[in-house]
Amino acid sequence: MLQLLWESRIQAVAVLLFAVGFTTLLLHRNLIKKVIGLNIMDTAAYLFLTSIGYIPGRLSPIVADGVTDMEAYVNPLPAGLVLTGIVVSVSVTAVMLSLTLRLYRRYHTLNLDEIYRLVYAEQEDV
Amino acid sequence: MKKRTFKEWLKQWDQGEFDLDRGEAEALHYRPETQEKDDDSWAHRPVRGLREGEYTLFVKVYPFAALLLASVMIFFFMRTVAELPPFASACTPANQSEVIRRYIENGLTETGAVNIVAGVILDYRAFDTLGESHVLFTAATAVFILMLAGEAEPEDKRTRRILEADTVLSVTARVLFPLIVMFGFYVILCGHLGPGGGFSGGAVIGGGLILCSMAFGPERISRLINMKTYRGVVLCALLFYSIAKCYSFYCGAHHLETVFSPGTPGMIFSAGLILPLNIAVGLVVACTMYGFYSLFTRGTV
Amino acid sequence: MAFCLNFPLFLIVLCLISSVVSSVLPARAARIWSLGLSAVSTAANAVLFRYAARTNTAVTYLMGHYPHPWGNELRIGPLEALFSAFFSLVLFLCLLGGRRQLAVKVAPQKQHYYYVMADLVQAALLALVYTNDLFTGYVFIEICTLSSCGLLMIRETGRTILASVRYMIFSLIGSGLFLLGVILLYSITGHLLMPNLKESIGLLWSTGQYHLPLLSSICLICIGLAVKSGLFPFHLWMADTYGAAIPASSGILSGLVSKAYIFFLLKVIFDVFGVDVFYACGIHRLLYVMGAAGIIAGSVGALRENNIFRMIAFSSAAQIGYIYMGIGLSPTVGIEAALFQILAHAVTKPALFLSAGHLSDAAGRSKRFHDLQGAGYKDPFAGVAFTLAAFSMIGLPFTMGFISKYLFGMAALDGSHAKMVPTLLVLAVSTVLNTLYFARTVLRLYNKPQADDYERVRIPAHLSYVTAGIVFMAVNLLLGTLSRPLLDLLLQGVRLF
């Protein structure tokens, strides 16, 4: 199994990072670190996706000298998907950061438990 | 606490004062001394809510829980990865499918784009990309809701004065800003001919605008981009994008020819809709990037 | 090609366009536009449904000049049309009925953003229902997440912002897992369009090649969507989220957004994995167990609550549990019950949230049971609407809840012996618990408070809310009594899925 893992080491690193990011996002109590975990998780997924399309010795998928042979270029589809994914994760990060900023401005802490305590000590606006 | 009889317990539950969720129940009886929600007042006010004990217990358990979860996930993922098609091989299902063959071999004639990736995302799989630019719009709207003036703090004047007085920054910005914007436009306009496209070019221009706003102050930039122009640009670009793509989808579904032809590959005015779409996306992305920065720092565009 | 087959494309693009246009309109114009849009969408999807049910076909609609496996596509069948018509109708009613609360609780200069987000939610719902491409599904899942978070946080209190953070975190975990699952599927099949994926997966399953990656991707996609829709261990965000939002948003989030994820999951099960592969690989057992646990956990959580909104939110977690239990039970009757439950819940839950909003206003702006005493007399219409919806939740006859519980019972009797007893047991226990907490609420609403502090204030009925409430009640009673045609249509749709 280790032999197989070494052969697909990029994917192995990608899933490792994914697990790390996932755990950080789910369990860390600091909001900024949660955002970092989110970005690690997403980027790991894109690393995985990019590694699928990579073939050594082939050119990037931009037609050069009119050669349109499948053997000449790497897989263009993962690049397109990663492009889409990056925009999605930028958007999500922006929203998460602005939520964090709002909470920080009001409660002066980034710890989620602390914020939880402060929020539930407030009177509820109905 | 004295032990309650079943009847009392039932009555309490019916009255809605059931004491199981302690945080909730304490919050119910808690009345803050002052109603005003002053920002600093929380720092020295005794707080009730979740009990101290519950909260520290979780903090203690957390590292172990995280370690356990991560190891279990890594274990399963590693087993999965070991059975995946090998890395960097041309013979995997993804790399030798008919999908890729058509994209590479017919992409140039069908879409007219030299950059095959641009052809894939803006012509073959254009619906994804239409959704993607609206994800950015959604996020921008969400940031507007949260950050627009009102509760946002006024800008920190001190940092700005320091930045403005910084000779290195302003001289560098003076030299770099035109180059950055020019490069951004190049990346957008040649997105179908080489590496680049609307998103990357727009991000470059957005970065240039942010640099300019840091160096010369937001007032200078707001002559170029303010609320009005921001809204106008985003509105026009996204409307154009949606309508153009709707037309092209409609024609595609009914097997009609569109008026946009692929043209001669390699020319600047070629590849049908890809160039105008890249420009539209580039404008949206540039405005949104600058808008994020401006909303986060000043609470307005 | 019949002209009405173009409707999904037009509607999705129209929703996107109107969201962009609404961002520069004043709030009133944005509201009228948004309401008109969802009304038009309901009508157009109903026409499409009529056409699709009559011709009894599912058509693929090219989004561009390239068929699968190269380009994006939509897939239009009777079930898709029925569910989008229903979702648009419920969205229309939520926006209509929640108008007053919105006007009171959201800052005036930001109200038009609410309708921007509502349009985006609608675009995402339609795209999720109609799409024939897994990656398009991912993109629109993200639009759905962000815009529903927008609906939440537009009421800028501390609780709402905190609730949005929790909602975002769970949603992002769900979409991260989903994305990884899609990537794994792509790496072993090389496709993203559903028909090709189904073909390749069938082949891989029968040859046994890439068995473990296939299993993990099925797991990841199912768990990702389950987390996003709030299945049992991940249901705790619901109480905070629905408890803190304005009633219309709670209704949209619980009645539509989480249902759209489940509908998309069903679509993935039928069109990507294939029913045979899905039920052979065993993940449905996990969904079944978690669904059953969710029913009990949600009901117990609801019993413990002192806050009417949080109680309804926990009951929502229980209803999600029913749907997953149905999916886990069997591929035919179980799925039919789950689909009917989606519809029943989409009609009932927004009605509960909207009525609870009005009742809590009548009770002096409090969500606590203690203060809700006699609120049913102060706002009679909201009381009636709440009571009927609560009856439907309990499953009294002549309501949709009754039919859905009946279907679950039949599905349990139909299935294997191993699942029959636990299913029936869970149904019985949850019905008792449902009755307990809803009966307690309804009794409290109609319990006259002590004479001295009781003022006979009547809240004037609000026309838009009353209209929405009447339609909700009418749909509930109509489909609860005359359910046979709907069930036949659902079965027909499932066969074409």
Residue B292: the pLDDT is 92
Q: Tens digit of pLDDT per residue, chain C (497 long)?
A: 788 899 999 999 999 999 999 999 999 999 999 999 999 999 999 999 999 988 888 889 998 888 888 889 999 999 999 999 999 999 999 999 988 888 888 888 889 999 999 999 999 999 999 999 999 999 999 999 999 999 999 988 888 999 999 999 999 999 999 999 999 999 999 899 999 999 999 999 999 888 999 999 999 999 999 999 989 888 888 888 998 899 999 999 999 999 999 999 999 999 999 999 999 988 999 999 999 999 999 999 898 888 889 899 999 999 999 999 999 988 888 899 999 999 999 999 999 999 999 888 888 777 887 778 888 888 889 999 999 999 999 989 899 999 999 999 998 888 677 788 889 999 999 999 999 999 989 998 888 766 555 555 666 778 899 999 999 999 999 999 988 888 988 888 888 87
Among C226, C246, C269, the domain boundary falls at C269
Residues from chain B contacting residue A21 (CB–CB below 8 Å): none
Closest Cα of chain A to B167: distance in Å? 30
Q: Would the pLDDT of B152 be above 90?
A: no
Tell me if A108 and B48 make a contact (CB, 8 A cut-off).
no
Cβ-based contacts of C64 with chain B (< 8 Å)? 123-124, 126-127, 248-249, 252
pLDDT of residue B49: 45
Using a CB-CB cut-off of 8 Å, the residues of chain B touching C184 are 80, 84
Q: Chain B: give the shortest CA distance to residue A36, in Å.
A: 16
Check B135 against A53: CB less than 8 A apart. Answer: no
What is the number of domains present in chain B? 2
Tell me, yes or no, whether C239 and C102 share the same domain: yes
- DSSP bridge partners of A71: none
Please, are residues C191 and A56 in contact by the beta-carbon 8 Å criterion?
Answer: no
Of B128, B231, B235, the CB nearest to C136: B128
Please give the Cα distance from B181 to B172 (Å, whole number). 14
Please state which architecture CATH assigns to domain A2-121: Orthogonal Bundle (1.10)
**Residue B42 sits in the same domain as residue B165:** no
Both B125 and B57 in a single domain? no
- The answer to whether residue B231 neighbours chain C at the CB level (below 8 Å) is yes
Residue C344 shares a structural domain with residue C237: no
Chain A closest CA to C422's CA: distance in Å?
A: 32
CA–CA dist B191, B101 (Å, integer): 22
Q: Mark which residues 18-37 of C lie under 8 Å from B by CB.
A: 19-21, 23-24
Query: Rounded CA gap, C249 and C148, in Å?
Result: 8
**Cα C184 to Cα C215: distance, rounded to the nearest angstrom:** 10
Rounded to an integer, what is the distance from CA B264 to the centroid of its chain?
A: 35
Contacts of C169 in chain A (CB under 8 A): 25-26, 34
Q: CA dihedral defined by B200, B202, B206, B209, rounded to 10 degrees? A: 120
Residue C155 lies in a domain: yes
3-class SS at A73?
A: strand
> Shortest CA distance to B193 belongs to which of B112, B262, B250?
B112
Residues 6+ apart with CB under 8 A from C186: A49, A52, A78, A81, B94, C192
Contact B296 A97 (CB under 8 A): yes
Residue type, C300: V
Mean pLDDT of A26-37: 90
Structural domain contains residue C450: yes
Query: Quick check: C66 and C213 in contact, CB under 8 A?
Result: no
Q: How far apart are alpha carbons B6 and C171 in whole angstroms?
A: 41
Domain that holds residue B171: 113-298
Task: Return the higher-pLDDT residue of C351 and B169.
Answer: C351
Q: Please give, rounded to a whole number of angstroms, the shortest distance from the CA of B197 to a CA of chain A.
A: 10
Do B264 and B206 share a structural domain?
Answer: yes
Could you tell me if C262 and C288 lie in one domain? no
Q: Could you tell me if residue C274 is inside a domain?
A: no
pLDDT over 50 (residue B206): yes
Q: Structural domain of residue C358, as residue ranges?
A: 282-497
Question: Token digits for B2?
Answer: 């004295």
Q: Are residues C135 and C52 in the same domain?
A: yes
Same domain assignment for residues C323 and C440: yes
Same domain, yes or no: C253 and C343: no
A40 touches chain C (CB under 8 A): no
pLDDT in tens, B224-244: 888 889 999 999 999 999 999
Does A85 reach chain C within 8 Å, measured CB to CB?
yes
User: Tokens 């702006």 identify what position?
Assistant: C365
pLDDT tops 80 at residue B44: no
Q: Does C219 touch chain A (CB under 8 A)?
A: no
Cβ neighbours of B120 in A, within 8 Å: 76-77, 80
Q: Are B298 and B218 in contact (CB under 8 A)?
A: yes
Nearest to C176 among A15, A42, A103 (CB): A42
Check whether residue B163 and residue B207 sit in a common domain. Answer: yes
Number of domains present in the structure of chain C: 2
| A26 CA: distance to closest CA in chain B (Å) | 9
Q: For chain B, which chains pass the contact test of at least 3 CB pairs under 8 Å?
A: A, C
Interface probe for A, chosen from B116, B234, B281 (most Cβ of A below 10 Å), is: B116
Report how far residue C366's alpha carbon sits from residue C47's, in angstroms, rounded to the nearest whole number. Answer: 43
Q: Does residue C202 share a domain with residue C102?
A: yes
Interval B2-25: pLDDT, tens: 566 777 777 777 666 554 444 444
Q: Look at B135 and A116 and tell me if their CB atoms are within 8 Å.
A: no
Whether residues B74 and B123 share a domain: the answer is no
User: Are the beta carbons of A99 and C172 separated by less than 8 Å?
Assistant: no
CB pairs under 8 A between A and C: 88
- Number of residues that make up chain C: 497
Q: Which of B16, B98, B144 sits opposite C369 (nearest CB)?
A: B16
B143 and B216 share a domain? yes
Number of A/B CB contacts below 8 angstroms equals 213
Q: DSSP string spanning C99-123?
A: HHHHHHHS-GGGHHHHHHHHHHHHH
Average pLDDT over residues B217-226: 81
Is the same domain home to C331 and C451? yes
Task: Give the predicted TM-score (pTM) of the model.
Answer: 0.92
* End residue of a domain, out of B62, B82, B102: B82
C301 shares a domain with C397 = yes
Helices (H) and strands (E) in chain C, counts: 22, 2
Domain boundary among C269, C293, C310: C269
Binned at pLDDT 50, 70 and 90, residue A6 comes out as confident
Domain boundary among C269, C301, C323: C269
Q: What is the pLDDT of residue B82?
A: 86
User: Searching chain B, which residue's CA lies closest to the CA of residue C369?
Assistant: B16
Residues B76 and B123 in one domain: no
d(CA A22, nearest CA chain C) in Å: 7
From CA B55, how far away is CA A108, in angstroms rounded? 18
Q: What is the DSSP letter of B86?
A: P
Q: Report yes or no for ipTM above 0.90.
A: yes
**Of B61, B82, B103, which closes a domain?**
B82
Helix axes C258-268, C333-362, angle to 10 degrees: 170
CB–CB of B139 and A94 under 8 A?
Answer: yes
What region, left, alpha or beta, does residue B51 occupy, with left being phi > 0 and alpha being psi -120 to 50 degrees?
Answer: beta
Q: In C252-292, which ranges are E strands?
A: none
- Predicted local confidence at residue B130, as pLDDT: 93
Cβ distance of A122 and C159 shorter than 8 Å: yes
Residue B59 and residue B197 in one domain: no
Amino acid in the structure at residue B242 = S
Whether the pLDDT of residue B32 is over 60: the answer is no
| C164 in the same domain as C143 | yes
- All residues of chain A having their beta carbon less than 8 Å from the beta carbon of residue B30 are 121, 123
Task: Kindly state whether residue B108 falls inside one of the protein's structural domains.
Answer: no
Residue among B43, B70, B95 whose CB faces A53 most closely: B95
Tell whether B134 and B21 lie within a shared domain: no
Tell me, yes or no, whether C307 and C449 share the same domain. Answer: yes
Collapsing DSSP to helix, strand or coil, C409 comes out as helix
Asked whether residue B73 falls in the same domain as residue B135, the answer is no
Q: Which H helix or E strand runs over C74?
A: strand C72-76
Q: Indicate if C264 and C303 belong to the same structural domain.
A: no
pLDDT score, position B142 = 94
Are residues C162 and A116, on separate chains, in Cβ contact within 8 Å? yes
B102 domain-assigned: no
Do B75 and B192 sit in the same domain of this protein?
no
Closest residue on chain A to B130 (Cα): A84
Cβ contacts of A96 on chain C, cutoff 8 Å: 165, 168, 172
Do both B33 and B127 map to the same domain? no
